[in-house]
Amino acid sequence: MRSLSSCLRVWLIPLAALVLACATDNSVAQETAEDLSASATAVADESAAATDDDSDEFPYPLALQGPDPEPITPPTRAAIVQSICDGMQFMIESQNPDGSWGSARRTKSLNIYAPVPGSHHAFRTGVTGLGIMAMCESLAALADDELPDEQRTAANDALEKAQAWLLENAERLRRAETDALYNVWGHSYAIHAAICLHARADGDEDLQKKLGDMAQGQADKLRVYEFLNGGWSYYDFDGRTRTPSSAPFSFTTATVLIALKGAEEKLGVEFPQESVDKAVESLLRQRYPDFSFAYGEYLRMMPRYDINRPAGSLGRSQACNLALRLWGDENETDAVLKNWLDRLFARNGWLSIGRKYPVPHESYFGVAGYFYYYGHFYAALCIDQLPAAERPHFQQHLAHILMPLQEKDGSWWDYPLYNYHQQAGTAMALSSLVRCLPAESAPSSAAGQ
């Protein structure tokens, strides 16, 4: 690759010759050519010196630039605790009799493509995994005097039922059709649930082994459903092949990679490094210099397409940055995470406008409603990556955004999806809010980060 200095010489010195050729007065031409040539040399030398001085600087300066959020009045711990308690109560009351969360029973005329029954197996497994994660973390985060005994008992009972359902049903999950792979969400969040339940089962080796085996089985299925060129998506409309062959999506790939890293570190789950490397390479192909991420590989050559721009990537960049960081990308620094957290807070309106819209991607910058709590959930996991002393600013802003959006029944939701959206949104919001509590009360790496 040419240095900046050589590039300047290539362009500026021929410019001097052009002026020389066009000048009518030879003396003027000579003087102008000499001046331009001298300028070209000076600029090139200055640029070369600057390049030498800046050789150790971060190679992606655009990833460190962005707006700062407005000052806020931070919510109190008591207010956050009350919000968590209300969300937990919703989860307790909305749990299915068999221990799972979510169902296909609330329908409307605007439903996404979801071939039965496999799609709903995937949705229910994913939502149940998120619910388990949220309830485990909430129970661990709240002190005895912050959660009434009756509610704590009910929450533990709900977890026992959810754990039994997951252990019995997770292994059955497959893709619904050759073109519909919603199961990748179920596998990923079942792994998160297994990590939390494994920690909760400390001292019970038999149960921990069952949970570890279940997580390994979910990872094995993710290996089967990895796309041909690396990474994951939930659609394969083009090839519809046994090994999915369409374009992987950035955020789906990130979701899987984050779950796999937690499973590897906390449960000893094994996954082929070759598959991880292919997925990481797919994410890197979709990352732009400002660390916005393309929606999917099929759009990666359209960096200024609305959904690929920073406002369209607000709900994806947190997960994608985190996934790359966890798998060793040294460019995913604390400064990058902090910049994209501040971007999320300062430009939250781009996501919020699309919240509760019934049609995907109908909002500005192609934002779909389902990115809202997803984006904040992974923002919370990014906060966990920062030094403890630097977290309060981000914790306060995140809680300040989420708490006013809680519904009267204690739930949160962003995109209508049969009867899964309230449970999924509430679970993600709860897992986010427990990370907004003071560090001494937050769960310790419950999601495997």
Q: What is the pLDDT of residues 360-406, one digit of tens each?
A: 999 999 999 999 999 999 999 999 999 999 999 999 999 999 999 99
Q: Is the dihedral of CA 43, 46, 52, 53 positive or negative?
A: negative
The neighbour count for residue 4, using CB atoms within 10 Å, is 14
**In this model, does residue 20 exceed pLDDT 60?**
no
Per-residue pLDDT, averaged over 160-182, amounts to 98
The whole-number pLDDT of residue 219 equals 98
More confident residue, 160 or 56: 160
Mean pLDDT of the chain: 89
Enter the tokens of residue 28: 């003027």
Tokens 């919020």 correspond to what residue? 352
Domains of the chain, residue spans? 4-53, 65-441
Confidence of residue 110 (pLDDT cuts 50, 70, 90): confident
Enter the tokens of residue 150: 């009756």
**In this model, does residue 279 exceed pLDDT 50?**
yes
pLDDT per position as a tens digit, 306-318: 999 999 999 999 9
How many angstroms separate the most distant Cα atoms in the chain? Answer: 96
The whole-number pLDDT of residue 111 equals 84
Between the two ends of the chain, the Cα-to-Cα distance in Å is 37
**Inter-CA distances, 10 with 14, 17, 32, 33, 149, Å:** 7, 12, 18, 15, 75
| Separation of alpha carbons 432 and 256, rounded Å | 19
Confidence of residue 40 (pLDDT cuts 50, 70, 90): very low
**In this model, does residue 17 exceed pLDDT 60?**
no
Confidence of residue 62 (pLDDT cuts 50, 70, 90): very high
Cβ neighbours of residue 248 under 8 Å, at least 6 residues apart?
227, 229, 230, 231, 232, 233, 279, 282, 296, 297
Q: Given CATH 1.50.10.20, say whether it is the number of domain 65-441.
A: yes
The neighbour count for residue 116, using CB atoms within 10 Å, is 10
Q: What is the pTM of this model?
A: 0.87
The whole-number pLDDT of residue 440 equals 55
pLDDT per position as a tens digit, 184-202: 999 999 999 999 999 999 9
% of the chain surpassing 70 pLDDT? 85
**In this model, does residue 53 exceed pLDDT 70?**
no
**Inter-CA distances, 153 with 99, 139, 144, 356, Å:** 15, 10, 11, 33
**In this model, does residue 21 exceed pLDDT 90?**
no
Confidence of residue 412 (pLDDT cuts 50, 70, 90): very high
**Inter-CA distances, 408 with 277, 403, 404, 413, 437, Å:** 45, 11, 10, 12, 22
| Separation of alpha carbons 385 and 145, rounded Å | 29
| Separation of alpha carbons 181 and 49, rounded Å | 53
Confidence of residue 226 (pLDDT cuts 50, 70, 90): very high
The whole-number pLDDT of residue 106 equals 85
Per-residue pLDDT, averaged over 320-337, amounts to 98
